[in-house]
C-alpha cells in the first residue's frame, strides 16, 4: 500500500492548496464575533478537513485504479471479491472518526442551549415581512423593516452597499452582555439568523423559542430571515448594532422618550393634509408590500384597496379590518402594531388616495375610541 | 391478439397490441417500464425548465424576470416535479423493466395493478401542474410545504395540490407492493435471496421504505386538508396544535424519501462498476447489509432537517448521532465500489463514466451531508445554499447520474441497438462540467450566508450566482443531447448482442437484445 | 424457495385506465367542492364532477373485481398467484398501519409535547407567555384561544359506548375466525352463520359510532373544530370508522359470494383477505380505545 498512500498524500496536498486560497476570498463561513460562532467555525473547519482527508484517501485509491488498472493497458483483473478483515476495518475506522467529531459538537450544542442567566431579554416576533423587537424589561418595542427602495430592487437605480440588508430601525444590544432572545411569530414560521453570532432559530407562531448571544465586538451585523415565509421572504433582513453599554443605555432612554411622544400624538389635533402625508409614509412601510403602492393589490391573494367597497364604505368597517385584522388571512391586526396616529393616518390615506375620494378624515382619537369601545 | 410463435402456447403469449391501446391497456412490464421512463424524462425536462427560470432570475441580483410570488411557485414545483415526477418514476421504470429480467420472472407479480400505478402518475401531475393556472397561483410554499404557510396562508389551489399528492402516494404504494411481491414470489428456481443482483436487493429495500413512508405523507397532507377545509387545529397553536408537528410528520416521510431516491442508484452502480471492471463486486453481502442498515437508520434521523426549530437538546443530540451513523454503512458501500475497481481491468464506456462520477460526486454530497448532520454547525448551514449544494450533489450526480448510467447500460437490451458512444461521452463530459459549475459554487454561497428560496440576494453573492447559472444552463442544454442519443438508438444503428458488455453478468443478458415482448415464460434455472 | 408453475399474466385490461380516470375525476371534483365552498362560489358543477367520478369508480370496482373473480373461478390462478395476492394484501395492510401511525403520532405529539409547552411546562414552556392563563390538561377542555376554537364542554368517557364497541369488535374478530374455520372444514353452514354474525356485529359497531358522534356534536360541543382534542379524536375514530365500513362492505361481498357457492376449503384467498383486513381494523380499534379513550 505504500505507493497508494503516497499517491493519496499528493492528492490531499493538491486539494488543500486551493481551499486555503479560496478561504481568503471570503467564501467560507465567517468565524463571527461570539464564542458560539467561533466554536461553530472550529467545528466546521474540523469536519471539513476530516472529509477532505477521507476524500483524498478514497479518491486517491480510485484514481490510482483508473490510471493503472485499465484494460487498455493490458491489466488483467484480479479475482478477490471479499476480505472480512478489511471490511471490518473500514467499518470501525469511520465509526471512530465520527465519535471524535461528536464530542466537541455535543459540547458546543449544550452550550448553545443554555439560555439561563441572561442580562437582557428581547422578544423577537416575525411578521410577514418584518421583525418586531420588544425589549420586555424596558417596556418599549418597535418594528424593523427593509428600507431598500423598490427602484433598486427593480434595477431602476444603482444598488446600495447594503442592498437588501438594511432596515429602518436596527436592533441595538450592548456588547459583553448575555442577550436572551425569545422568538415567536405572528403569522407563519420565520427564522432569525445573524451569521456572525452563530444564532439561527425559527420563530414559530404560537410558540416561543429561546436563543442567546453575547457579542464581544461592537459593530453592525446583518442577517436575513431563513425560513420561507411567503412572497417577501427575501426582503426581511435583520440588522443588529452592538454598542458599548453606556451607549446602549442612552439609546434605551431615547427609545422610551420616543414612545412617550408617540403616545402624545393621539391627543394632537390633526389636519387632513398632515394625516395624508403621514399616512402615505405608513402605507408605504406597512401596507404596500401586499396591497401595492397604487392600492391595486395582488388579487386574489391580496385585495385591491382602490375602489374597494369596504374602504370607501363606512369608517367603522374599515377600522375593524385594519385594527383587528382578518383572522386566518395575511391581513394582520394592525391595532397592536401601529400607533393611533399611524392608524388614523393610514386609514385616512386609504380613504382618499388613488381616487378613493371619500373626503373622510379619521382622527387618532376616533381610533382610540374604536379600540377601547 | 395474434399469437407469437413460442413453444409454450399459453394464454398470455401474445405480442404487443397495435395502436394506442398497446400503451393504455398494457399489462406488460416492459411496456410499462418504457412508459415510466418516458414520463420521467418529460418530467425531468419540465422540472428542469422550472429550474432554468430560477437560475435565470438569480443570474443577476435584483428582480428582473419573475415576481417573487411566481419565483416561489417555481422553486416549489421544481422540487416537487423533480422528486416525484422525475427521479422516483425513473427508478420504478427501471424496476419494471429490469427486475423480472434479472430474477427470471415472466412479468411483474400484479400486472394490471402495475398499469394502474403508472397511469395514476400522469393524472396526478396533470392536476399538480394545472394549479399553476388557477387563481392565486400554484403551490408557493416549497416542496416541503410547511404549515401554516401552506395551510392558513396557502393559495386556494392547495387543496388540488393535496389530492395530487394523494394520487402520487397511491401510485407509489401500489408500485412498491408490486416490486415486493415480484421479488419475493417470482424468482426463478435457484435464485436465492443472496444470489439476487444488487439492483434487485436495493429495490426490495426501497419498496419497503416506500410502503412505510408514503402513507405517512398521505397522512400529513390529509391533516393539511382538514386544517384548511374543515377547521381542525393540527398545526394551529390557538387550538392546541403545533406547526412543528407538521415538520415531524413530513420529515418522517421526507428523510426515508431521500434514500428512496438514492438506493436504486446504489444498486444500479453496483451492477455497472463490476461489469466494466471485469471483476466481481467486492463485498456483496456487506453491500446488502449496508443497504438494510441505511434503510433502518433512515427512520431515526428525520429531525436533522429541523435542528433550528427548537427541539429539546436531548432530541437534538439523538438525531445528530443517528444521522452521523449513516455515514458508516454508506462508507462501506463507497469503499466496496472502490475495491471493486481496484485491480480490475477497467474500460470507460458511458455507463462506467457516469458510475464513476456517481461515486465521486455522491461522496462529496455525502460529506456535506455529514457536515449538515453536526447539529451546532447546521445552525449556520440550515436553509442556506449550502443545503441546496448538498442535496443537488446527492440528487443530480447521485440519482440522475445513476439513472443515466443505467439507461446507457441497459439501452442495448431495451432497443436492440448500441447507442452512439461518442455522443454519450460528450453527454457525460458536458453534464459533468455543467453540473459542477452549477452546484459547486453553491457551497460557497451558502457558507457566505445566502439563504435558499429567495428571488433576490445581497450583492456579495452576485459572482457565484452568475457562475452557477451559467453552469446550470450548460447542464440543462446538454440534456437535449441525451434525448437525441436515446431517440437515435431506438431507431436503429449497430445491432446489440445479447450481452453487449464483456464483463456484465446476470439473467438479463441471457435473453436476446432487444428483449422479446415476453421473457422467461418458463423460468430459467439458476445454478 | 418459490417454485414456478405457469404464472398467469393477464392480457390487456381496460380497468386500470378507467380506475385512473375515475379516481382523478372524483378527487378533482372533491377539491372543487372544497375550494368553491370556501370561496362562497356555487358548487353545483363541482358536485356533478364528483358524482361522475364516483360512478366511474363504482363501475370500475365491479368490473375489475368481477374479472378477477371470474379468472379465479376458471382456475387460472396457481398457488403462486395466490402468494402474490397474499404478499400484496399484507403489504397493503402494512401501509394502512403506517397511515394510522401518522395520526397516532400526531395525538402523541400534541399530548406529550405541544399542549404541555403551551401550558408552560417543559423545554419550550416559555411559550405560555403568549397564552396567558392557559393551562395544559388532557383531555384539553379549554383551548389556548377559545375564540378561534370553541372548547368542548365534555368528552366521551371510555366505559360507556366505547367499551360496548370494543366488545363488539373483539367478538367480531372471533366470529370471523370461526367462519374461517368453517370454510377450511368445508362446513358451509358454519361459515355462513358466523360470517353473518360478524356482519351484524360490524353494523352494530357502526351504529353506535354514529350515535356517539351525534352525541358529541349536539350535546358536548366536541367537534372537529373544538381544538386539538376534537381534531385527533375525530380524525382517528373517523378514519377507523371509514375502515370499519369498508371492511363491512368486503365481508358482505364475501357473504354474497359464499352464497353463490364461490370458494373452496383450499382456495379462498378473497375471503381470507377480507378477514385479515377485519383483524387489522380490530387491532387499530384496540389502540384507539386505549390511547384515545382510556389513557
Ligand atoms: C438522494 C438524496 C439524499 C441523500 C442520499 C442524502 C444523504 C445525507 N444527507 Fe441529505 N438531504 C437531501 C437529500 C439527500 N441527502 C435533501 C433533498 C435535503 C434537503 C431537503 C430540503 O430541506 O428541501 C437534505 C438535507 C439534509 C440535511 C438538513 C440540512 C438542513 O436543512 O439544515 C441534513 C442534516 O443532517 C442531511 C444529512 C445527510 C446525511 C448525513 C446523508 C448521508 O446519507 C450521507 C452519507 C455519505 C457519506 C458520508 C459519504 C461516503 C462515506 C464515506 C466515504 C465514509 C467515511 C466518511 C466519514 C466517516 C466522514 N441532509
Ligand atoms: C432530483 C431532484 C432534483 C434535480 C434533478 C434538480 C436539478 C436542478 N436543480 Fe434543483 N431542487 C430540488 C431537486 C432537484 N433539482 C429540490 C428538492 C429543491 C428544493 C425545492 C424547495 O426549496 O422547495 C431544489 C431547489 C433548487 C434551487 C434552489 C431554489 C431556491 O432555493 O429558491 C436551485 C437553484 O439554482 C435549483 C437548481 C437546479 C438546476 C439548475 C437543476 C438542473 O440539474 C436541471 C437540469 C435539467 C434541465 C434544464 C432540463 C433539460 C433541458 C431542457 C428542458 C431544455 C431547456 C434548457 C435550457 C433552456 C437551457 N434547484
Ligand atoms: Cu420571514 Cu422568511
Ligand atoms: Cu434527511
For residue A340, being part of any structural domain is answered with yes
Ligand 2 atom with the smallest distance to the CA of B475 is 45
At residue A174, what are phi and psi to the nearest 5 degrees? -80, 150
pLDDT for the residue B207: 96
Mutate to test the interface with C, among B239, B247, B310 (most CBs of C within 10 A): B239
Question: C229 and C101 share a domain?
Answer: yes
**CATH number (domain holding residue C252):** 1.20.120.80
Question: A167 and A53 share a domain?
Answer: no
Report cis status (omega within 30 of 0) of the bond before C139: yes
Tell me how far CA of residue B206 lies from CA of A46, B117, B202, B393, C141, in angstroms: 34, 16, 6, 20, 43
* Structure confidence by residue, pLDDT tens digits, B209-259: 999 999 999 999 999 999 999 999 999 999 999 999 999 999 999 999 999
**CATH number (domain holding residue A211):** 2.60.40.420
- Cα separation, C9 vs B12, in Å, equals 6
Report cis status (omega within 30 of 0) of the bond before C44: no
Sheet with A130-135: list strands edge to edge.
Answer: A140-144, A130-135, A120-127, A179-185, A209-213
Please spell the DSSP secondary structure of B205-259, one letter per residue.
Answer: HHHHHHHHHHHHHHHHHHHHHHHHHS---TT-GGGT--HHHHHHHHHHHHHHHHH
Min Cα distance A107 → chain C (Å) is: 19
Q: Tell me which DSSP letter residue C260 carries.
A: T
* Residue B255 is among the residues annotated as catalytic for this protein: yes
Q: Average model confidence (pLDDT) for chain A? A: 87
pLDDT for the residue A26: 59
- Which domain covers residue B55, as residue numbers? 15-128+140-182
Residues with Cβ < 8 Å from A224, sequence gap 6 or more?
A: A164, A165, A193, A234, A236, A237, A238, B449, B451, B454
Q: In terms of C-beta density within 10 A (0-12 exposed, 13-18 middle, 19 or more buried), how is residue B285 classed?
A: exposed
Question: C176 and C276 share a domain?
Answer: yes
Nearest to B24 by CA among B145, B139, B119: B119
| Residues facing A130 on adjacent strands | A127
C-beta neighbour count of B231 within 10 angstroms: 18
Q: Tell me which DSSP letter residue B190 carries.
A: T
Give the burial string for C185-204 (b: 16+ CB within 10 Å, else e): eeeeebbbebbbbbbebbbb
Which of C39, C54, C76 represents a domain boundary (last residue)? C76
| Nearest residue by C-alpha to atom 49 in ligand 2 | B48
Question: C268 and C220 share a domain?
Answer: yes
Question: C96 and C33 share a domain?
Answer: no
Report which of residues A270 and A240 the model is more confident about: A240
If you count residue pairs, one on A and one on C, with CB atoms under 8 Å apart, how many are there? Answer: 24
For residue A12, being part of any structural domain is answered with no
For residue B43, being part of any structural domain is answered with yes
For residue B285, being part of any structural domain is answered with yes
> Mean pLDDT across the stretch C209-224?
92
Min Cα distance B362 → chain A (Å) is: 11
In this predicted structure, the answer to whether residue C3 has a pLDDT above a threshold of 80 is no
Question: A39 and A140 share a domain?
Answer: no
Nearest CA in chain A to B283: A82
Strands, DSSP E only, in chain A? 120-127, 130-135, 140-144, 171-174, 179-185, 190-194, 199-203, 209-213, 219-225, 237-243
Min Cα distance A130 → chain C (Å) is: 19
pLDDT for the residue A228: 96
**CATH number (domain holding residue A49):** 1.10.287
For residue A27, being part of any structural domain is answered with no
Question: A249 and A344 share a domain?
Answer: no
Nearest to C231 by CA among A335, B65, B235, A330: B235
Q: Do B112 and C91 touch (CB under 8 A)?
A: no
Strands A120-127 and A130-135: antiparallel
In this predicted structure, the answer to whether residue A293 has a pLDDT above a threshold of 80 is yes
Question: C289 and C182 share a domain?
Answer: yes
* Structure confidence by residue, pLDDT tens digits, A161-212: 899 999 999 999 999 999 999 999 999 999 999 999 999 999 999 999 999 9
For residue C5, being part of any structural domain is answered with no
Strands A171-174 and A199-203: unpaired
Asked if residue A205 lies in contact with residue A186, where contact means CB atoms within 8 angstroms, the answer is yes
| Ligand 2 mean position, distance from CA B391 (Å) | 11
Q: Do C20 and B223 touch (CB under 8 A)?
A: no
Which of A263, A287, A315 represents a domain boundary (last residue)? A263
For residue C182, being part of any structural domain is answered with yes
pLDDT for the residue A368: 84
Question: A259 and A128 share a domain?
Answer: yes
- Cα separation, A192 vs A172, in Å, equals 15
Identify the segments of chain B with pLDDT beneath 70.
1-14
pLDDT for the residue B121: 96
Which of C76, C92, C127 represents a domain boundary (last residue)? C76
Question: A252 and A200 share a domain?
Answer: yes
- State which H helix or E strand residue C200 sits in: helix C188-215
Tell me how far CA of residue B331 lies from CA of A4, A11, B287, in angstroms: 19, 20, 10
For residue B220, being part of any structural domain is answered with no
| Residues facing A302 on adjacent strands | A298
Q: Do A207 and C118 touch (CB under 8 A)?
A: yes
**CATH number (domain holding residue B480):** 1.20.210.10
Question: B519 and B404 share a domain?
Answer: yes
pLDDT for the residue C252: 94
Question: A169 and A237 share a domain?
Answer: yes
Identify the chains in contact with A, defined as 3+ C-beta pairs within 8 A: B, C
Question: A125 and A207 share a domain?
Answer: yes
Smallest Cβ distance to C106: which of B127, B162, B245? B245
Which of C50, C76, C102 represents a domain boundary (last residue)? C76
For residue B210, being part of any structural domain is answered with no
Which of A112, A132, A163 represents a domain boundary (last residue)? A112
Q: Do B346 and A69 touch (CB under 8 A)?
A: yes
**CATH number (domain holding residue A341):** 1.10.760.10
Question: C51 and C106 share a domain?
Answer: no
Question: C50 and C143 share a domain?
Answer: no
Question: B426 and B521 share a domain?
Answer: yes
Q: In terms of C-beta density within 10 A (0-12 exposed, 13-18 middle, 19 or more buried), how is residue B491 classed?
A: exposed
Asked if residue B150 lies in contact with residue B158, where contact means CB atoms within 8 angstroms, the answer is yes
The CA-based dihedral angle spanning residues A252, A258, A262, A264, taken in that order and rounded to the nearest 10 degrees: 110
| Ligand 2 mean position, distance from CA B289 (Å) | 32
Question: B34 and B165 share a domain?
Answer: yes
Report cis status (omega within 30 of 0) of the bond before A129: yes
Which of A90, A112, A134 represents a domain boundary (last residue)? A112
| Ligand 4 mean position, distance from CA B256 (Å) | 7
Total domains in chain A come to: 3
3-state class (DSSP) for residue A289: helix
- Which domain covers residue A90, as residue numbers? 35-112
For residue C258, being part of any structural domain is answered with yes
Total domains in chain B come to: 2
| Ligand 3 mean position, distance from CA B489 (Å) | 49
pLDDT for the residue B180: 96
Tell me how far CA of residue B11 lies from CA of B2, B15, B21, C9, C11, in angstroms: 11, 11, 19, 8, 8
From the list B55, B187, B279, B305, the catalytic residue is: B305
Asked if residue B457 lies in contact with residue B61, where contact means CB atoms within 8 angstroms, the answer is yes
For residue A4, being part of any structural domain is answered with no
Question: C88 and C168 share a domain?
Answer: yes
- Complex ipTM, two decimals? 0.91
List of chain B residues whose C-beta atoms are within 8 Å of the C-beta of residue C89 = none
Smallest Cβ distance to B243: which of A55, A189, A328? A189
Q: Do C3 and B189 touch (CB under 8 A)?
A: yes
* Structure confidence by residue, pLDDT tens digits, A251-287: 999 988 888 887 777 777 888 888 888 889 889 888 8
Mutate to test the interface with A, among C41, C130, C147 (most CBs of A within 10 A): C130
* Residue B29 is among the residues annotated as catalytic for this protein: no
Residues with Cβ < 8 Å from A255, sequence gap 6 or more?
A: A135, A138, A140, A142
Sheet with A237-243: list strands edge to edge.
Answer: A171-174, A237-243, A219-225, A190-194, A199-203
Look at the block and give the residue holding cell 428512496: B260
Helix axes B29-57, B401-415, angle to 10 degrees: 140
For residue B4, being part of any structural domain is answered with no
Question: A240 and A130 share a domain?
Answer: yes
Total domains in chain C come to: 2
Q: Do A207 and C117 touch (CB under 8 A)?
A: yes
Question: C159 and C175 share a domain?
Answer: yes
For residue C3, being part of any structural domain is answered with no
| Nearest residue by C-alpha to atom 1 in ligand 3 | A190
Q: Enumerate residues lining ligand 1, CB below 6 A.
A: A 51, 54, 58, 94, 97-98; B 144, 258, 261-262, 304-305, 323, 326-327, 330-331, 334, 363, 366-367, 369-370, 372-373, 378, 381-382, 387, 390-391, 394-395, 398-399
Question: A82 and A50 share a domain?
Answer: yes
Question: C211 and C141 share a domain?
Answer: yes
Q: Do A223 and B310 touch (CB under 8 A)?
A: no
For residue A49, being part of any structural domain is answered with yes
Question: A101 and A160 share a domain?
Answer: no
For residue A234, being part of any structural domain is answered with yes
Question: C72 and C117 share a domain?
Answer: no
pLDDT for the residue B525: 86
Question: B177 and B278 share a domain?
Answer: no
| Nearest residue by C-alpha to atom 33 in ligand 1 | B372
Question: A209 and A226 share a domain?
Answer: yes
Cell of B294: 441505511
In this predicted structure, the answer to whether residue C2 has a pLDDT above a threshold of 90 is no
* Residue B333 is among the residues annotated as catalytic for this protein: yes
Smallest Cβ distance to C31: which of B107, B163, B226? B163
Question: A170 and A231 share a domain?
Answer: yes
In this predicted structure, the answer to whether residue A302 has a pLDDT above a threshold of 60 is yes
- Which domain covers residue C65, as residue numbers? 12-76
* Structure confidence by residue, pLDDT tens digits, A36-90: 999 999 999 999 999 999 999 999 999 999 999 998 888 888 888 888 899 999 9
Indicate whether residue A146 lines ligand 3 (CB < 6 A). no
For residue C1, being part of any structural domain is answered with no
How much is the pTM? Answer: 0.92
Q: In terms of C-beta density within 10 A (0-12 exposed, 13-18 middle, 19 or more buried), how is residue A24 classed?
A: exposed
At residue B523, what are phi and psi to the nearest 5 degrees? -65, 140
The answer to whether C127 contacts chain A (CB < 8 Å) is: yes
Residues with Cβ < 8 Å from A36, sequence gap 6 or more?
A: A108, A111, A112, A197, A198, A199, A213
How many residues make up chain A in this entry? 373
Q: What percent of chain A has pLDDT over 70?
A: 93
Question: C203 and C147 share a domain?
Answer: yes
- Residues, beta carbon < 5 Å, ion ligand 4: B 255
Q: Do C35 and B156 touch (CB under 8 A)?
A: yes
Amino acid at each position: 500500500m505504500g505507493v497508494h498512500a503516497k499517491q493519496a498524500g499528493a492528492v490531499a496536498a493538491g486539494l488543500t492548496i486551493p481551499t486555503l486560497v479560496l478561504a481568503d476570498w471570503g467564501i467560507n463561513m465567517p468565524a463571527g464575533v461570539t464564542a458560539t460562532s467561533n466554536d461553530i467555525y472550529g467545528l466546521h473547519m474540523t469536519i471539513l478537513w476530516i472529509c477532505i482527508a477521507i476524500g483524498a484517501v478514497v479518491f486517491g485509491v480510485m484514481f490510482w485504479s483508473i490510471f493503472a488498472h485499465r484494460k487498455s493497458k493490458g491489466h488483467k483483473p484480479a479475482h478477490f471479491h471479499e476480505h472480512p478483515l478489511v471490511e471490518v476495518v473500514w467499518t470501525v475506522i469511520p465509526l471512530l472518526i465520527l465519535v471524535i467529531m461528536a464530542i466537541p459538537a455535543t459540547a458546543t450544542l449544550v452550550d448553545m442551549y443554555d439560555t439561563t442567566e441572561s442580562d437582557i431579554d428581547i422578544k423577537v416576533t416575525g411578521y410577514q415581512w418584518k421583525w418586531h423587537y420588544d425589549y420586555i424589561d424596558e417596556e418599549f418595542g418597535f418594528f424593523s423593516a427593509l428600507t431598500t427602495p423598490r427602484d433598486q430592487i427593480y434595477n431602476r437605480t444603482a444598488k446600495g452597499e447594503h442592498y437588501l440588508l438594511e432596515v429602518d430601525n436596527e436592533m441595538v444590544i450592548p456588547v459583553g452582555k448575555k442577550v436572551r432572545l425569545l422568538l415567536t411569530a405572528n403569522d407563519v414560521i420565520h427564522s432569525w439568523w445573524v451569521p456572525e453570532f452563530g444564532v439561527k432559530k425559527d420563530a414559530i407562531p404560537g410558540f416561543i423559542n429561546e436563543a442567546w448571544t453575547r457579542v464581544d465586538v461592537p459593530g453592525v451585523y446583518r442577517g436575513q430571515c431563513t425560513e420561507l415565509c411567503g412572497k417577501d421572504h427575501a426582503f426581511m433582513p435583520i440588522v443588529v448594532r452592538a454598542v458599548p453599554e453606556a451607549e446602549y443605555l442612552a439609546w434605551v432612554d431615547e427609545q422610551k422618550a420616543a414612545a412617550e411622544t408617540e403616545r402624545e400624538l393621539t391627543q394632537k389635533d390633526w389636519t387632513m393634509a398632515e394625516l395624508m402625508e403621514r399616512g402615505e409614509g405608513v402605507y408605504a412601510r406597512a401596507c404596500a408590500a401586499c396591497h401595492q403602492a397604487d392600492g391595486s393589490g395582488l388579487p386574489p391573494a391580496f385585495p385591491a384597496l382602490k375602489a374597494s367597497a369596504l374602504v370607501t364604505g363606512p369608517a367603522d368597517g374599515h377600522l375593524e379590518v385594519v385594527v383587528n385584522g382578518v383572522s386566518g388571512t395575511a391581513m394582520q391586526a394592525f391595532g397592536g402594531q401601529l400607533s393611533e396616529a399611524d392608524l388614523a393616518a393610514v386609514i385616512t390615506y386609504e380613504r382618499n388616495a388613488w381616487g378613493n375620494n371619500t373626503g373622510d378624515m379619521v382622527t387618532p382619537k376616533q381610533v382610540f375610541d374604536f379600540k377601547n369601545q | 391478439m395474434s399469437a407469437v410463435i413460442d413453444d409454450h402456447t399459453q394464454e398470455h403469449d401474445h405480442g404487443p397490441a397495435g395502436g394506442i391501446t398497446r400503451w393504455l391497456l398494457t399489462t406488460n412490464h416492459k411496456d410499462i417500464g418504457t412508459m415510466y421512463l418516458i414520463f420521467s424524462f418529460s418530467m425531468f425536462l419540465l422540472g428542469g425548465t422550472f429550474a432554468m427560470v430560477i437560475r435565470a432570475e438569480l443570474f443577476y441580483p435584483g428582480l428582473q424576470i419573475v415576481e417573487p410570488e411566481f419565483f416561489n411557485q417555481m422553486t416549489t414545483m421544481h422540487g416537487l416535479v423533480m422528486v416525484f415526477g422525475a427521479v422516483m418514476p425513473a427508478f420504478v421504470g427501471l424496476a419494471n423493466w429490469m427486475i423480472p429480467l434479472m430474477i427470471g420472472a415472466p412479468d411483474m407479480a400484479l400486472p394490471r395493478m402495475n398499469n394502474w400505478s403508472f397511469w395514476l402518475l400522469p393524472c396526478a401531475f396533470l392536476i399538480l401542474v394545472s394549479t399553476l393556472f388557477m387563481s392565486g397561483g400554484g403551490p408557493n410554499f416549497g416542496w416541503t410545504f410547511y404549515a401554516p404557510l401552506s395551510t392558513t396562508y396557502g393559495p386556494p389551489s392547495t387543496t388540488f395540490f393535496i389530492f395530487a399528492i394523494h394520487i402520487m402516494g397511491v401510485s407509489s404504494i401500489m408500485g412498491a407492493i408490486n416490486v415486493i411481491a415480484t421479488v419475493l414470489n417470482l424468482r426463478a428456481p435457484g435464485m436465492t435471496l443472496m444470489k439476487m443482483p444488487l439492483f434487485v436487493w436495493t429495490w426490495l429495500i426501497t419498496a419497503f421504505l416506500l410502503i412505510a413512508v408514503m402513507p405517512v405523507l398521505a397522512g400529513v397532507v390529509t391533516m393539511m386538508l382538514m386544517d384548511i377545509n374543515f377547521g381542525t387545529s393540527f398545526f394551529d397553536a390557538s387550538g392546541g396544535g403545533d406547526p412543528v408537528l407538521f415538520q415531524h410528520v413530513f420529515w418522517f416521510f421526507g428523510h426515508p424519501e431521500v434514500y428512496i431516491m438514492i438506493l436504486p442508484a446504489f444498486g444500479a452502480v453496483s451492477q455497472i462498476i463490476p461489469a466494466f471492471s471485469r471483476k466481481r463486486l467486492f463485498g456483496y453481502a456487506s453491500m446488502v447489509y449496508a443497504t438494510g442498515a441505511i434503510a433502518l437508520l433512515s427512520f431515526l434521523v428525520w429531525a436533522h432537517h429541523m435542528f433550528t426549530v427548537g427541539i429539546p437538546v436531548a432530541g437534538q443530540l439523538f438525531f445528530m448521532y443517528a444521522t452521523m451513523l449513516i455515514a458508516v454503512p454508506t462508507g462501506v458501500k463507497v469503499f466496496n465500489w472502490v475495491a471493486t475497481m481496484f485491480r480490475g481491468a477497467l474500460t470507460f464506456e458511458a455507463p462506467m463514466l457516469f458510475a464513476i462520477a456517481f461515486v465521486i460526486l455522491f461522496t462529496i454530497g455525502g460529506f456535506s451531508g455529514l457536515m449538515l448532520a453536526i447539529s451546532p454547525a447546521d445552525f449556520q448551514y440550515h436553509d442556506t445554499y449550502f443545503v441546496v449544494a448538498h442535496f443537488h450533489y446527492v440528487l443530480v450526480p447521485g440519482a440522475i447520474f445513476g439513472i443515466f448510467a443505467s439507461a446507457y447500460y441497459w439501452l442495448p437490451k431495451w432497443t436492440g441497438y448500441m447507442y452512439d458512444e461518442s455522443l454519450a461521452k460528450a453527454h457525460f463530459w458536458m453534464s459533468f462540467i455543467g453540473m459542477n459549475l452549477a452546484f459547486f459554487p453553491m457551497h460557497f454561497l451558502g457558507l457566505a450566508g445566502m439563504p435558499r428560496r429567495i428571488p433576490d440576494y445581497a450583492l456579495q453573492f452576485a459572482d457565484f450566482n452568475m457562475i452557477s447559472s451559467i453552469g446550470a444552463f450548460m447542464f440543462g442544454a446538454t440534456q437535449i443531447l441525451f434525448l437525441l442519443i436515446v431517440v437515435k438508438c431506438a431507431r436503429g444503428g449497430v445491432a446489440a448482442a445479447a450481452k453487449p458488455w464483456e464483463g456484465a453478468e446476470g439473467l438479463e443478458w441471457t435473453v436476446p437484445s432487444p428483449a422479446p415482448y415476453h421473457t422467461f415464460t418458463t423460468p430459467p434455472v439458476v445454478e | 424457495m418459490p417454485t414456478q408453475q405457469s404464472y398467469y399474466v393477464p392480457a390487456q385490461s381496460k380497468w386500470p385506465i378507467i380506475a385512473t380516470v375515475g379516481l382523478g375525476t372524483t378527487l378533482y371534483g372533491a377539491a372543487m367542492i372544497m375550494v368553491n365552498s370556501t370561496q362562497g362560489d356555487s358548487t353545483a358543477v363541482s358536485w356533478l364532477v364528483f358524482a361522475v367520478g364516483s360512478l366511474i369508480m363504482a363501475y370500475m370496482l365491479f368490473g375489475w373485481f368481477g374479472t378477477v373473480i371470474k379468472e379465479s373461478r376458471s382456475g387460472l390462478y396457481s398457488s403462486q398467484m395466490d402468494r402474490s395476492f397474499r404478499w400484496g394484501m399484507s403489504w397493503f395492510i402494512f401501509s394502512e398501519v403506517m397511515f394510522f401511525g401518522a395520526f397516532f403520532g400526531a395525538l402523541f405529539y400534541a399530548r406529550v409535547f405541544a399542549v404541555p409547552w403551551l401550558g408552560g411546562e417543559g423545554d419550550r414552556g416559555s411559550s405560555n407567555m403568549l397564552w396567558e392563563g392557559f393551562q395544559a390538561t388532557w383531555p384539553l377542555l379549554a383551548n389556548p384561544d377559545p375564540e378561534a376554537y370553541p372548547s368542548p364542554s365534555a368528552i366521551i368517557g371510555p366505559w360507556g359506548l366505547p367499551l360496548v364497541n370494543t366488545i363488539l369488535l373483539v367478538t367480531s374478530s372471533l366470529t370471523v375466525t370461526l367462519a374461517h374455520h368453517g370454510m377450511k372444514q368445508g362446513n358451509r353452514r358454519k361459515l355462513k352463520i358466523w360470517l353473518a354474525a360478524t356482519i351484524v356485529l360490524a353494523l352494530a359497531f357502526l351504529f353506535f359510532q354514529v350515535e356517539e358522534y351525534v352525541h358529541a356534536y349536539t350535546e358536548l360541543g366536541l367537534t372537529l373544530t373544538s381544538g386539538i382534542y376534537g381534531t385527533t379524536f375525530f380524525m382517528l375514530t373517523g378514519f377507523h370508522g371509514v375502515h370499519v365500513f369498508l371492511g363491512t362492505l368486503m365481508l358482505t361481498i364475501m357473504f354474497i359470494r359464499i352464497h353463490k357457492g364461490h370458494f373452496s376449503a383450499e382456495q379462498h384467498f378473497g375471503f381470507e383477505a377480507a378477514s385479515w383486513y377485519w383483524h387489522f381494523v380490530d387491532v387499530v380499534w384496540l389502540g384507539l380505545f386505549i390511547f384515545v379513550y382510556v389513557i
